[in-house]
Structure 1
């Protein structure tokens, strides 16, 4: 065999081990828009590092993205498969006296410090940090740091679940909640169904046009009003502080079922209510911000205060846990992985409502309208065209502008319906967040077994008390729950009264 032939074969084999980086993946590594996912995972037992690493090698490292490096050659970016030295990805730092005196603060400080440290592109873009520290809600904590170009948040959480096993059946994968969006059958005659179909098409076109206009305006000039939680133009972002609280998922489901809404609607309403409480306190403490103050009132919010949240999601269908388990077994992606993102802008009314259920009704109305809009798909097409015409810097600048001109981000992800073993240890909770983009605040809600984890990533200087924001969210959830229970009691009394009036 000629030397030239052997070189050609070697080159072909190397190319087979490479895969192009998607445009979105490249955009997520652009300057001033370098996205990382930070996940805090609490465990019910101390972590045995050797067992943890062994279980990762048997599962996670079989995923092609977690065993590939990002390489650039001639302006082209590709994923190249490589051998993984797990000791260069899993770290067990020494725990000093600070961890013993204030373990929760130590974990928060450690996770916060990771938001400032760039990742080494010479190796796969992920890290695990094992902190054998007993906190208020776990015996040990593992901080996972992953570059967002490896995948979207929902897919990465699903991958984490695919690496886990049931507590009572170690050979079985966990079960995720089933989608609760059944198609409603048609009612009425053919003429009525036709009229409804035509009206739906009209609404889709109208809402799509409205949202497209709002998106373009946000790119060009439309900015949220300045509030104590918004990092406006010219504000230098500081490192993120990651905090979380754990509440009962049953409380959320109680509200959901009583008001005939979705879990997402409930959490959007809770976010609106909690953020209103937090900002009301902030304006009270800082009256020079321009709020009209009524000394006889406890409402210090400016009138007609409205802000917006960005919701980023993947247009590619997220693989199931079973698909991911099979993919890792074969060590092939099979086209089911990658970022194809879309951005939806969600308006939030900031006010103090006498009836807490108003927040839930408003959230449902907003989301029902957004579900009819196709503007997010249009925006994705625009991003693709911009990339093909002007390169990756242009869509990165556009996406950065959308984040900068809005106030915060929102995400809600479903987890397993029962507790699991993850990498050989009993998982207590999982609290995801994101950093590396020009916003000072992000809300994540993660369900797990009978828990709902409220996770907040906040700019340390603009929002120095994110724990208070967590407390305001929990207080708002409790108020809404109590209002639902009270409404149920009133209905029961009314029904009993009506029954008493019926002649026997």
Structure 2
């Protein structure tokens, strides 16, 4: 029997809201970027309540989940409410029965690559759910949400996903998240003496960073390396998605040793692992020009609220959308940090570069530039500029905050979760997400170019080098 979800009265369906500029960039003839979130379950999946869950919990979160993107009379795109046939958005694949976990790993990875490259149909709301009822090395079953980036950024989409979940220990209690709010003002008699030099430094950094960002987006292209093929249409090529898990306690020890942030440690680990991979693949290319786009959340809030606040609170609803920026960060060279005793300097240099770039307004000037291009040349031209920005760099790094407690979906415990941004014109994408006391790193890489096993070995080697150097007595 068909289940059709009525999302409103007929007159409500005729109403529409404008698509944000960023939403139009991400769903254009030049770009069509999506986010895949993977939930890993401890036990075999019971999907008997999936239709009701999507109908009663997922769809009401935001009207965009019940809308399609259409061209408006004003020439701009709009979200138009439609009637949703839920089962058209759910897929339950069939794999051969009785295989080994390694074989199911291969089937699962191939399936992820397939749905990553398949475009979402524009004739229905831009999301889909895949329920994989076969075990892998990481889970007894998995659920994959694929959501178009035009619907919102990682913060918005992850908030929507978490709204469908509960605490495994007590569903009546809300999920909680690490508090990354900035501390209050610090009393410092020397603070006024530092304000002017910091303001001057920030102004200089803004000019340099913004100028370099424009050049990188327009003319300066990274070299072809073991992590960048530089091919046209790389976003349509098959990918491998590999994940790694690291202990947050160990990362915090490195953090305390260097007196930096967790993000600094993780970014340094990713950069060092990438350089080690480049060296292991082609020694001559180990220090080739390689630039990463590090994504930043530009919201005025420091972290997640509770799930209820994120969905129902007016402030949280205002925060919905694509509110982020990016920084061009060159990967530090490897030659100066070959010895294990000096590996922490690699992290410190990474932290220094990112800190300097944060002390500038280049991210906001880039946003103003994109708006100017949109105003005078249109959304398609702006999407082309963003495509060039991505294609000319070597990799993207983004991170999300996950809950502190174990989660469950309809009383089914979730062992792990991660996400991946797909259909990006790059050969390498790295995403990071915390969950309980672990950090999950997912790596999307162009199939046939980057070796997943070797890249994992190099990244884990980088982490071990950093940890050993951090805990050694000085």
Superposed pair shares fold, TM > 0.5: yes
Which residue of 1 is the match for residue 430 of structure 2?
A: 443
1:396-444, CA deviations, whole angstroms, 9 ceiling, x for partnerless residues?
A: 1111111111110001211111211135421111111111121110011
Which residue of 2 is the match for residue 91 of structure 1?
A: 91
Give how far 1:195 is off. Answer: 2.2
SS of alignment partner, residue 374 of structure 2: helix
CA contact (8 A) 1:159 1:321 kept: no
Q: State how far apart, in whole Å, the 2-side matches of 1:158 and 1:257 are.
A: 30
| Match among 271, 289, 292 for residue 309 of structure 1 | 292
Scaled by the length of structure 1, the TM-score of the pair is 0.85
Scaled by the length of structure 2, the TM-score of the pair is 0.90
Which residue of 2 is the match for residue 47 of structure 1?
A: 45
Matches within 5 A, 1:219-238: 219-232=217-230, 234=232, 236=234, 238=237
CA contact (8 A) 2:264 2:351 kept: yes
Which residue of 1 is the match for residue 6 of structure 2?
A: none
SS of alignment partner, residue 150 of structure 2: helix
Which residue of 2 is the match for residue 454 of structure 1?
A: 441
What is the aligned residue count? 458
Which residue of 1 is the match for residue 16 of structure 2?
A: 18
Cα 1:14/1:179, change in 2 over 3 Å? same
Q: State how far apart, in whole Å, the 2-side matches of 1:356 and 1:230 are.
A: 24
Matches within 5 A, 1:80-479: 80-97=80-97, 100=100, 102-179=103-180, 181-188=182-189, 192-232=190-230, 234=232, 236=234, 238-284=237-283, 291=284, 301=285, 305-317=288-300, 322=305, 325-326=308-309, 328=311, 334-352=317-335, 353=337, 354=339, 355-463=342-450, 465-479=451-465
CA contact (8 A) 1:252 1:266 kept: yes
Give how far 1:220 is off. Answer: 3.0
Q: State how far apart, in whole Å, the 1-side matches of 2:297 and 2:314 are.
A: 22
- 5+ residue gaps, structure 2: 1-8
CA contact (8 A) 2:181 2:302 kept: no
Give how far 1:161 is off. Answer: 2.1
CA contact (8 A) 1:162 1:321 kept: no
Cα 1:321/1:162, change in 2 over 3 Å? farther
Cα 1:356/1:334, change in 2 over 3 Å? closer
Cα 1:311/1:427, change in 2 over 3 Å? same
Q: State how far apart, in whole Å, the 2-side matches of 1:483 and 1:373 are.
A: 31
Cα 1:258/1:206, change in 2 over 3 Å? same
Q: State how far apart, in whole Å, the 1-side matches of 2:369 and 2:356 are.
A: 22
Cα 1:11/1:96, change in 2 over 3 Å? closer
Cα 1:419/1:345, change in 2 over 3 Å? same
SS of alignment partner, residue 431 of structure 1: strand
Q: State how far apart, in whole Å, the 1-side matches of 2:367 and 2:375 are.
A: 13
- Greater Cα shift, 377-386 or 78-87: 78-87
Give the CA RMSD over aligned residues. 2.4
1:21-74, CA deviations, whole angstroms, 9 ceiling, x for partnerless residues?
A: 111101101123110112222111111111233333332111222222222344
1:90-122, CA deviations, whole angstroms, 9 ceiling, x for partnerless residues?
A: 221222148546111111110000122111222
Cα 1:185/1:329, change in 2 over 3 Å? closer
CA contact (8 A) 2:205 2:357 kept: yes
Q: Which has the larger radius of gyration?
A: 1
Which residue of 1 is the match for residue 31 of structure 2?
A: 33
1:186-224, CA deviations, whole angstroms, 9 ceiling, x for partnerless residues?
A: 422xxx433211111101101101101101211332222
SS of alignment partner, residue 182 of structure 2: coil
SS of alignment partner, residue 144 of structure 2: strand
- Greater Cα shift, 36-45 or 76-85: 76-85
Give how far 1:247 is off. Answer: 2.1
